[in-house]
Amino acid sequence: MFNVTMQNGFLYYTLGLLALAAGLAGYDFWRDTARQWIPSRSVLVECSECNGVFLSERQGAVLRCPRCQTVCSRKHT
Ligand SMILES: [Zn+2]
């Protein structure tokens, strides 16, 4: 029969807590990778005239603000 002494019980309790912490860490890692930022084909552009922010195609030839029709430039980071 499975006999649990005081020392063994403390050991099993500690191992159980470690397994629980490892499981939670694994779940957190999985959740972070599932919500990972995925680069899109669009880029966020800020207009220098009206400070409007809009999305534009990354490969677009001319970036023109939809609000004031000013030609904007991409910010190079
Ligand atoms: Zn503008």
**Mean pLDDT in residue range 13-19:** 97
Q: How far is the CA of 41 from the centre of ligand 1 (A)?
A: 21
**Mean pLDDT in residue range 3-19:** 90
Spatial distance between the Cα atoms of 58 and 61, rounded to a whole number of angstroms:
9
The mean pLDDT of the chain is: 84
Q: How far is the CA of 53 from the centre of ligand 1 (A)?
A: 8
The count of C-alpha atoms lying within 13 angstroms of the C-alpha of 44, restricted to the half-sphere facing its C-beta, is 5
Beta bridge partners of 53: 46
What residues are neighbours of ligand 1 (ion), with CB under 5 Å? 47, 49-50, 52, 65, 67-68, 70
**Side chain identity at residue 14, one-letter code:** T
Give the tokens for residue 17.
Answer: 């807590």
User: CA nearest 75: which of 39, 40, 44?
Assistant: 44
Q: Domain ranges in the chain?
A: 1-37, 42-72
Spatial distance between the Cα atoms of 20 and 43, rounded to a whole number of angstroms:
41
Query: With a threshold of 0.85, does the pTM exceed it?
Result: no
Q: How far is the CA of 61 from the centre of ligand 1 (A)?
A: 17
Beta bridge partners of 64: 71
